[in-house]
Amino acid sequence: MTPQERTSKLRSIALDEAHEKHEWLRQCFKEELEERLKGEDYEEFENIYHCALLLHIIGDESDLPLMYSAKCSGDMDLSSGFDWQFLFMKYPQTLKSYALSINRPDIVKWLDEYSSDYEEEDMARWLESSKKYHRRA
């Protein structure tokens, strides 16, 4: 599947039906990550974020290592553009548990500081904003 075909397919997935395309979304994410890490100018660069949004909505914690690999890939553009909220699943505690399991005390410390100001409304606003952005025509 070409990157342009993946773009079309991503746009065709209804948010409430993302779980039906879960396996394809995982594969798409991997392919998009590979494209981004080639270091070439990539026209469909938004695909990985759109894919992350759909995986976030599904909320399967087993997707966390895959998405974390994009956030911490070492590619500045990808790492900067990849919202931490994708990795929260529903709550920052999800990422904190994962960070503890992979021995990343720096992330745990940051999340402890972040969590003191975290409100569920923040996550809801981020999610609505992300949906609007990634679902635009």
DSSP string, 44-107: TTTHHHHHHHHHHHHT-GGGHHHHHHHHTSS-HHHHHHS-HHHHHTTSHHHHHHHHHHTT-HHH
Q: pLDDT higher for 135 or 129?
A: 129
CA proximity to 118, closest of 89, 100, 93? 93
Q: Work out the mean pLDDT of the chain and round it to a whole number.
A: 89
End-to-end CA distance of the chain: 21
- List, for residues 33-56, the tens digit of each pLDDT value: 999 998 778 889 999 999 999 999
**In this structure, how many other beta carbons lie within 10 angstroms of the beta carbon of residue 70?**
24
CA 31 and chain centroid, separation = 14
Q: Which residue has the tokens 């995982």?
A: 26
The whole-angstrom separation of Cα 90 and Cα 109 is 19
Q: Considering only 11-25, 34-48, 117-131, which range has the smallest mean pLDDT?
A: 117-131
Whether the predicted pLDDT of 74 surpasses 70: yes
**In this structure, how many other beta carbons lie within 10 angstroms of the beta carbon of residue 32?**
26
The whole-angstrom separation of Cα 93 and Cα 121 is 16
- List, for residues 76-119, the tens digit of each pLDDT value: 888 889 888 888 877 778 888 899 999 999 888 888 887 766 67
* Residue ranges covered by each domain of the chain: 3-134
pLDDT score for 6: 95
pTM: 0.87
CB 134 within 8 A of CB 53: yes
